Amino acid sequence: MTVDDSIPAGRNRAGGPMKSGCPAGTVPVCREWVEANPDEDSQSFALAWALHDSGKTAEAAACFERLFRKELARKIFTGFAYDELVRIYREGKNGEALVSVCERAAAAQPEDTGILQTLGEAYISAGRAVEAARVFEKLAKCEPDAPEHRCSLGDALLAAGDPVRAEAEYKRAVEIDPAAEVAFFSRLANGFFRAGDPERAKAAWENCLAARSDEPLSWMGLGDCLVRLGEPDAAADAYGRAAELQPAAAGNCWHRLGRLLATEGLHSCAEAVFAKAIAAEPKNPLYLLRLAASYAAQGQNDLAAAALRRVEALKSSPAGR
């Protein structure tokens, strides 16, 4: 039996008891299999999966690690244990452990673009943006017609504090795939915004809207930037365009703007925006609660109390029950 054949078989054998709803009860059985057949990878995989499914993540990772080392030693890299370790460390947000796994896999398979992509992402998650940029530069050279590599390189450069080169890489991605211009520039805009650069984010959203003016998310993204740039009225205009484009979601649209304004301490502006959300969805108590909070933040306690009474009235009405 080959390694590729044995692993699914082991998974199926472990899966029977686990499907009954008691993965922890499977662990002793799997341990017995491993003790009886220490050289059978399928048995070790079954144990590792049973440990993982029963919540013993650290022990499962140690088991997969032993299997991963065996994978690295083989001429043909199967990657079963590698995939499981990547999943575990991503879910656990263990950046350094993820980097270790990916570095070793990349050393064994230096031309595997999937492993390199994961390595680059792992470097970013671990705060090692310069190393991530080197990986994505290699990928961009290996596959020059793949725009995703240019975007990933741009993300790494942005994380490394080089927004000019980051934007240049995204523009190269658009040159490769012009049809994806809005998708690429919206991704760049979000990156700039998270990096605390609303001016560049605004320019990226404007590029999106120049390509397609009927995208509500682009108008909302532009509005978010305008709030951060101290232009709440212009932000409301941008959100108004978004609300017009998707009337069924207008309440949620205005609510998003209201929350951002409130977070920025602009409660008088938030108050007006929450009122628009309520007008769009008068039976949504969340919007009334947000409005009450903005009133209270401004010391308008009577108005806050009135908004809360409206919430109680909604709860007691037949439609609100």
- Each domain of the chain, given as residue ranges in start order, spans 1-101, 115-176
Mean pLDDT of the chain: 91
Instruction: Pick 81 or 44 by higher pLDDT.
Output: 81
Tens of pLDDT, residues 207-217: 999 999 999 99
CA distance readout (Å), 292 to 186, 248, 253, 300, 314: 33, 24, 18, 9, 15
Closest CA to 250 of 223, 276, 214, 283: 276
Segment (H or E) for 116: helix 113-125
> What is the phi-psi region of residue 85: left when phi exceeds 0, alpha when psi lies from -120 to 50, beta otherwise?
alpha
63-5-62 Cα angle (round to 5)? 5
CB 280 within 8 A of CB 242: no
- Taking every pair of C-alpha atoms in the chain, what is the biggest distance, in angstroms? 77
167-168-169 Cα angle (round to 5)? 90
CATH fold, domain 1-101, is 1.25.40
76 in helix, strand or coil? coil
The CATH code of domain 115-176 reads 1.25.40.10
Tens of pLDDT, residues 150-207: 999 999 999 999 999 999 999 999 999 999 999 999 999 999 999 999 999 999 999 9
State yes or no: pLDDT of 12 exceeds 70: no
Using 50, 70 and 90 to split pLDDT, how confident is the model at 28?
Answer: confident
CA distance readout (Å), 302 to 21, 265, 288, 309, 313: 54, 20, 14, 11, 17
| Identical topology for domains 1-101 and 115-176 | yes
